Amino acid sequence: MFQSSTRRNGTAADPARVPGRAWPMLALATIGFAVNFWAWALLSPLGPRFKDTLELSSFQQSLLVAVPVVVGSLGRIPVGALTDRYGGRVMFPLVSTATVVPVLYLGLAGHSSLAALLFGGFFLGIGGTAFAVGVPFVGAWFPPERRGLAIGVFGMGMGGTAISALTTVKLVKAHATAVPFLLTAAALVTYAVVAAVFLRDAPDRTVPTEPLSHRLAATLRLGITWQASALYAVAFGGYVAFSVYLPTYLKTGYGLSQADAANRMAGFVLLAVAMRPVGGWLADRVGPVRVLGGALTAVVAGAVLQSFTPALAPLGTLACLLMAGALGAGSGAVFALVALLAPADKVGSVTGVVGAAGGLGGFVPPLVMGSVYGALGSYALGLVLLAVVAVAALAFTGTGVRRTVTRRRPAVQAG
């Protein structure tokens, strides 16, 4: 685990006390996460537009929005390990600055063909690695009793995808394709400067001394790495899949306009974002296993209901919002589990692998949904498959994960 909260705060009387400086550091990290995720999600709201202008197939459109997801996910593995070594003060400005380049390329020159978009989208994935910077950075500032809530609050930065959903299409229609990309690039540069000046790592964070390759190998031998990865692939992967594919799903399945579909996607994202710290807070109090069990049960119910393609008002909307809240809460609970069980000097490495699994979990469903719709003219099978995966994750949570947590904590905390 992280170093003891007693050492961190310099008091044995109140081991759960949070240093005053931790809160502004949490705020800065959350803003950085949001700005980078705003950039990471720029292509998703424009997917239907590019499909029409470039005459893309459903699979090509799905591939377009999925490429930044998979690159951002795999990139979290080395970025998380580098954060363990160099800290968030170095890595946040570095990731933000690197993301500026593909954002400017896509806005100014890279949107004229599918090949150009895929090339730019590949490097746009850098923005998605910011998550693996923030979790170890934030976790080092907070004692174990508060990490679920703190990391859940940091996770609200995934609301950057809502900023993209609410603004990108409107800015393109009102001005030009380049405008949202230029604004995002400006935000990234501003944040990189602010982070370089004001961001500070926790004074007693654990700095590993082993080579990167050894730390990654050791991380992959940890049980928590694989358990949390499996759960995050479902929880956060489901969120990512919906956030990047929902505009296409609503436009194709329900005949909504591009702007209306983007607005509804933003509502989905905002609810998931709001529920993420709730999931972390609940996990601190009743245990991550209980929170994950409730969240996955809700996902199963919502996916089964939506597989019948009910009318949007009210059942379709309720099913989607139920899944949004459950996926957000479940994502928060997974990283409360990581904070509980991961060794102190490997939190970034574990976060990188788990974050990669979550992103990869979001890469597959859009491709499946596009292929299923192309073959059957319906999304029902794709939603049924989501329900089946959630049932499997629920069973795993109630067995293997519960046993692991019970061995580490008293049974009352294991849930």
Per-residue pLDDT, 15: 52
CB 332 within 8 A of CB 279: yes
Alpha helical stretches, state H, 307-401: 317-341, 347-376, 380-396
Per-residue pLDDT, 5: 38
Residue pLDDT, tens place only, 104-126: 999 998 888 889 999 999 999 99
Per-residue pLDDT, 412: 38
Per-residue pLDDT, 6: 39
Structure token pair of residue 141: 């500032």
Using a 10 angstrom Cβ sphere, with 0-12 exposed, 13-18 middle and 19 or more buried, the burial of residue 165 is: buried
What distance in Å separates the CA atoms of residue 188 and residue 35, rounded to the nearest whole number? 6
**Confidence band, pLDDT 50/70/90 cuts, at residue 16:** low
Lowest average pLDDT, out of 35-49, 59-73, 268-282, goes to 59-73
Per-residue pLDDT, 13: 42
pLDDT average, residue stretch 203-211: 81
Q: What is the DSSP string of 252-293?
A: HHH---HHHHHHHHHHHHHHHHHHHHHHHHHHHHH-HHHHHH
CB 362 within 8 A of CB 244: yes
pLDDT average, residue stretch 77-99: 93
Nearest in space to 241 (alpha carbons), one of 52, 396, 390, 31: 390
pLDDT average, residue stretch 139-155: 84
What distance in Å separates the CA atoms of residue 377 and residue 275, rounded to the nearest whole number? 33
CA 315 to chain centre: 26
What distance in Å separates the CA atoms of residue 283 and residue 107, rounded to the nearest whole number? 41
CB 159 within 8 A of CB 273: yes
What distance in Å separates the CA atoms of residue 335 and residue 282, rounded to the nearest whole number? 12
pLDDT average, residue stretch 321-327: 94
CB 370 within 8 A of CB 61: yes
CB 194 within 8 A of CB 119: no
Nearest in space to 37 (alpha carbons), one of 134, 114, 149, 145: 134
First to last CA, the chain: 20
Q: 3-state DSSP call for residue 310?
A: coil
Nearest in space to 389 (alpha carbons), one of 370, 366, 361: 361
In sign, the C-alpha dihedral spanning 168, 79, 75, 248 is negative
CA 17 to chain centre: 28
Residue pLDDT, tens place only, 235-278: 988 887 787 778 788 888 888 887 788 788 878 888 988 998 89
Residue 325 has pLDDT above 90, yes or no: yes
Structure token pair of residue 227: 């358990």
Q: What is the mean pLDDT of the chain?
A: 85
CB 340 within 8 A of CB 40: no
pLDDT average, residue stretch 212-221: 85
Per-residue pLDDT, 409: 56
**Pairwise pLDDT comparison (98 vs 206), residue with the higher score:** 98
Q: Considering just the CA atoms, what is the radius of gyration of the chain in Å?
A: 20
**What's this model's pTM, rounded to 2 decimal places?**
0.77
What single-letter amino acid sits at 110?
G
